[in-house]
Amino acid sequence: MILGITWLVAFQLLGELVVRLAGLPVPGPVAGMLLLFVVLRLRRYDDEGSIVRAGTALLRHLQLFFVPAGVGVVTMLAVIGRDALPIAVSLLGSWLLALAVVGWGAVGLERLLGRPSDDLPAAPAPGAR
Amino acid sequence: MTDTVLDLGRSPLSMLAITLVGYQLGRWLQRRSRGHALAQPVLVAIVVAGLAITVLDVDYPDYRDATELIAFWLGPATVALAVPLHRQADRLKGFVVPLLAAILVGAAVSIVSAVLIARALGADDLLERTIAPKAATTPVAIAVADAAGGVPSLAAVFAIAVGILGAVAGPAVLNLLRIRDRRARGLAVGAVSHGIGASRMLREDETEGAFAGLSMGLSALAISLLVPLLALWLL
């Protein structure tokens, strides 16, 4: 576990270094994710390795790590209340529009390139998620 | 006596405990409701901790400092999104072009539509600049809003709100839109609801989670490049 976490932190640090040296506008951890992906591919890293075990354990609780930033909403309630309508409709509308564009766009391009793959049945059974 | 208890209640240790207990309560509700979409642990924990600091009269910056121990893990966990992607790498074949094109167009649609809808409903310039990068993962939304002249702390709240929206409603809306390729499903949720959406998709299916993680990373890059560009004519 600690060995895996050591690797994850090391790649986060490497990501920070690359982002700062290259002046990229992404956070260090995102660059670290892409770097780690390349290394795992090149090394043909196996499923029982320490990085996989530590990574899987952390990802199971990914939601927890957003809580401290999310609680910041209490300081913003007055501001949000003043502009509640534009904020709510803009967040919801833009979310839905972009979700449809990315989803349909990717599926449409797949069909165009002749490699469609429907994983889910056409009509989900009642009660399916 | 009351003072001693109250002091302990406001201590950093208590803030950590409240956050963890709130999260566990969320997980318990999720199990009890057999994975009901609204029972997202992040949502329950934010409500519990938000109520607690309001009742105990703890300043948010003090709460934030006390829970740094939890927030720290967001970095390594983001790096760890490489793991499901590595395990699903075979499924990238034949999907790279659709993936990149959809993310780029999706980022532009997300930014432009957020600004235009807000403007149409009477938002001011400051709010438009704050809401533009909301689909990016929290640290990127904060940095991009700041650079564009918005309010960073409000941008963080917007990012988390759309993240929770994706965790709650993402899979159901994808079903309504009849998107059945697991790669495209993950891609779409990661593009609009970043890591919080990715965590829901990981619970649903490893392929969906892996592509949501990749999509979150690439969308963060696209949004941080596009907001300054689109701001030239949009804002």
Read off the tokens for A17. Answer: 């270094």
Indicate whether B120 and B6 sit together in one domain. no
Contact call for B64 and A37, based on CB within 8 A: no
- For residue A110, give how far its alpha carbon lies from the nearest alpha carbon of chain B (Å): 6
Indicate whether B129 and B211 sit together in one domain. yes
Q: Which of residues 100-129 of B touch A (CB under 8 A)?
A: 101-103, 105-107, 109-110, 113-115, 117-119, 121-123, 127
Mean pLDDT to the nearest integer, A56-80: 93
Indicate whether B93 and B166 sit together in one domain. yes
Indicate whether B93 and B68 sit together in one domain. no
Contact call for B86 and A40, based on CB within 8 A: yes
In a domain, B160, yes or no: yes
| Chain B residue with minimum CA distance to A76 | B154
Burial class, A10, CB count within 10 angstroms (exposed 0-12 / middle 13-18 / buried 19+): middle
Residue at token pair 């309001």: B54
Encode chain B (235 residues) as per-residue pLDDT tens digits.
788 998 999 999 999 999 999 999 999 999 999 989 999 999 999 999 999 999 999 999 999 999 999 999 999 999 999 999 999 998 898 899 999 999 999 999 999 999 999 999 999 999 999 999 999 999 899 999 999 999 999 999 999 999 999 999 999 999 999 999 999 999 999 999 999 999 999 999 999 999 999 999 999 999 999 999 999 888 7
- Long-range contacts of B167-170, Cβ-Cβ distance < 8 Å, separation of 24 or more: B167/A63, B167/B37, B167/B40, B167/B42, B167/B43, B167/B193, B167/B196, B167/B197, B167/B199, B167/B200, B168/B37, B168/B38, B168/B40, B168/B43, B168/B200, B169/B37, B170/A99, B170/B197, B170/B200, B170/B201
Residue at token pair 């009890």: B32
Indicate whether B62 and B167 sit together in one domain. no
Q: Which domain holds residue B41?
A: 2-72
- Last residue within a domain, chosen from B29, B52, B72: B72
Q: Encode pLDDT of A96-118 as tens digits.
A: 999 999 999 999 998 998 777 77
In a domain, B124, yes or no: yes
Read off the tokens for A129. Answer: 């998620």
Residue A127 has pLDDT above 70, yes or no: no
Contact call for B74 and A106, based on CB within 8 A: no
Indicate whether B154 and B173 sit together in one domain. yes
Indicate whether B135 and B160 sit together in one domain. yes
Indicate whether B59 and B37 sit together in one domain. yes
Q: Encode pLDDT of B183-194 as tens digits.
A: 999 999 999 999
Residue at token pair 């994850």: A8
In a domain, B77, yes or no: no
Instruction: Report the first-to-last Cα separation within chain B, whole angstroms.
Output: 56
> What is the dihedral angle through the alpha carbons of B190, B194, B199, B202, rounded to the nearest 10 degrees?
20
State the pLDDT at residue A123: 55
Indicate whether B191 and B148 sit together in one domain. yes
Indicate whether B185 and B114 sit together in one domain. yes
In a domain, B91, yes or no: yes
- Last residue within a domain, chosen from B25, B47, B72: B72
Domain total in chain B: 2
Residues in chain A: 129
Contact call for B80 and A73, based on CB within 8 A: no
| Cα B88 to chain centroid, rounded | 23
ipTM, interface predicted TM-score of the complex: 0.93
Indicate whether B126 and B180 sit together in one domain. yes
Of B154, B183, B213, the CB nearest to A79: B154
Q: Encode pLDDT of B157-168 as tens digits.
A: 999 999 999 999
Contact call for A8 and B191, based on CB within 8 A: no
pTM of the model: 0.91
Indicate whether B183 and B93 sit together in one domain. yes
Contact call for A30 and B217, based on CB within 8 A: yes
| Chain A residue with minimum CA distance to B116 | A90
Cα Rg, chain B, nearest whole Å: 19
Contact call for A91 and B162, based on CB within 8 A: yes
